[in-house]
Amino acid sequence: MIDGWTASIRAIVEGTPEDAIIRNDIIDRPPLPGWGQGCVTLLGDAAHATTPNLGQGACQAIEDAVVLAVCLRKESTVEAALREYESLRIPRTSGIVRDSWRSGRILQLDQPTLEAARNWFMGSRMGTRMSTQMFRQLLTYWVPSLREAATH
């Protein structure tokens, strides 16, 4: 499993007691079409569990919390606020769940020929453009502010 890794990494892994190693499976599921009903909804991983390939799990939970707070402040009822929150968040988080899954399939290739093709493509102009576009969508999301909600 660690053959070919640098000596320092092998030493760390080999020096770690077996009972100190924690192994957690990465489990994902397709995006849910809805998150709640009535005065109940989900947020964070409960609503949109994602693989760690894009590093977006906690980021999306924070965005959820801000958007939910804005909706609760803006809407006249809790139920209306929850449905508004869901309508704003489900499209974004569903796309991120799918993009993370796709990225993982590409990034975790374990066949030398496919790895070489992936590495060549990612270094190409088209690969760079594609990566830049995906990260731009992740990093330029407009999260409504609580101050704006207070003025509505």
Which residues, other chains included, contact 106 with Cβ-Cβ below 8 Å and sequence gap of 6+? 118
Tokens encoding 78: 């809790």
Q: What is the pLDDT of residue 8?
A: 93
Can you give the pTM of this predicted structure?
A: 0.77
Please, which residues have CB within 8 angstroms of residue 50's CB and are 6 or more apart in sequence?
Answer: 28, 56, 57, 60, 93, 96, 97, 100, 101
Write down the pLDDT at residue 60: 95
pLDDT computed for residue 147 by the predictor: 64
Residue ranges in the chain whose pLDDT is less than 50: none
pLDDT of 57 reads 92
pLDDT tens, position by position, 71-89: 999 999 999 999 999 999 9
As given in the structure block, the two tokens for residue 99 are 């993009």
